[in-house]
Amino acid sequence: MGNSRTKSLVEGLRDGLPIGLGYLAVAFSLGIAAREAGITAFQGFMASLMNIASAGEYVGFTLIAARAGYLEIAVATLITNARYLLMSTALSQRFAEGTPFAHRIGVGLGITDELFGLAIAKPQVDPIYQYGAMLSSIPLWCVGTSAGVIAGEVLPARVVTALSVSLFGMFLAIIMPAARQDRVVRACVLASFIASYVASHLIPLTMAWSSGTRTIVLTVVIATVAALLRPVDDEEAQA
C-alpha cells in the first residue's frame, strides 16, 4: 500500500512539473499587473496561493488598481472563477467509493484547468496523484507571480504578456489526445470553439456577459446536449 501511494505521488509530481513550468511563465505576466496595482511580492505570492486562477487574479488586480470596493472585487472574482464549481462537481463523481471527505476537499482546493484535465484523464480521481501534481505546479505559479512583481519595473510588459501563449498550448496538449480518440469529445471541443466565438462576437446579449459567465453557460449547454444525444452507456463507463 505504501509503495502504491509513493508511486502515485511521484507520478503526480512528474506530470505536474511541466504544468508548473508553464504556470511560472504565465504568472510572471500576472505579477506585472499586480505590481501596477501596488501589490508587493509577498502579497502577490499569497494571492496566487489562495486563488490559483489567472483570470480571477487578473480581474482582482485590475479592480484593486481601479480602487474598487471589497464587495465588488469579491463578486467579480467569484463570477470569474465560478467555472471551478462545475469542475468540482464533475470530479466529485469520479472519486472511488469510500474516499475520505478530507481528500475530496483537498483535491477540490487545488483545481485548475490543467490539473482538472489531469484528473479526468484517469478512470478515477487519485487524491495522492493529484497532491503530487499540485505540489510540483502550484508553488511555481506563486513564485512566478512574485517574480513578475519584482521584475515589473525592469522588463517591458509586452514581453512577459507574450509568454501567456504557453498556457493555451499546454491546455491543448491535455485535451487533444482525448479528442482524437473519442469523436464525441472531438465534437464538443469543436462546438465549444464555434459557440465561444459566436457568443463573444455575434450575439449582443452574451457579448455583454463576462468571459467567466459565458464559459459557465456554454459548458452547461454543450455538456447537456452531448449527454442527451450521446449518453455514456454502462460498458463505456466501466472501460
Write down the pLDDT at residue 238. 46
Highest mean pLDDT among 167-171, 198-202, 230-234: 198-202
What Cα–Cα distance (Å) separates residue 5 from each residue in 16, 130, 228?
Answer: 16, 11, 38
How far is residue 218's CA from residue 86's CA, in Å, rounded to a whole number? 12
Q: Tell me the per-residue pLDDT of 202-217, one tens digit each, with 9 for 90 and over.
A: 999 989 887 667 777 8
> Which is more confident, 178 or 15?
15
What average pLDDT does the segment 183-208 reach? 89
**φ, ψ for residue 152 (rounded to 5)?**
-60, -30
What average pLDDT does the segment 68-89 reach? 82
User: At 158, is the secondary structure helix, strand, or coil?
Assistant: helix
Q: 73: pLDDT confidence band, cut at 50, 70 and 90?
A: confident
Q: Tell me the per-residue pLDDT of 42-56, one tens digit each, with 9 for 90 and over.
A: 999 999 999 888 878
- Set of cell numbers at residue 179: 479528442
How far is residue 157's CA from residue 52's CA, in Å, rounded to a whole number? 21
User: At 106, is the secondary structure helix, strand, or coil?
Assistant: helix
Residue with cell 496538449: 173
Nearest to 8 by CA among 125, 113, 111, 115: 125
User: At 95, is the secondary structure helix, strand, or coil?
Assistant: strand
Mean pLDDT of the chain: 83
How far is residue 24's CA from residue 212's CA, in Å, rounded to a whole number? 23
DSSP per-residue string spanning 209-234: S-HHHHHHHHHHHHHHHHHHHS---H
Instruction: Let me know if 8 is exposed, middle or buried by CB neighbors in 10 A (0-12, 13-18, 19+).
Output: middle
Model pTM score: 0.68
Residue with cell 498550448: 169
Instruction: Examine the pLDDT at 114 and tell me if it is beyond 60.
Output: yes
Highest mean pLDDT among 42-56, 129-143, 173-187: 129-143
How many residues does the structure list for the chain?
239
Write down the pLDDT at residue 47. 92
Residue 186: in which H helix or E strand, if any? helix 183-201
Write down the pLDDT at residue 172. 72
DSSP per-residue string spanning 11-55: HHHHHHHHHHHHHHHHHHHHHHHHHHTT--HHHHHHHHHHH--HH
Write down the pLDDT at residue 171. 62
Write down the pLDDT at residue 5. 84
Q: Which residues, including other chains, have CB under 8 Å from residue 79's CB and lie 6 or more apart?
A: 210, 212, 213
Write down the pLDDT at residue 239. 47
Instruction: Examine the pLDDT at 198 and tell me if it is beyond 90.
Output: yes
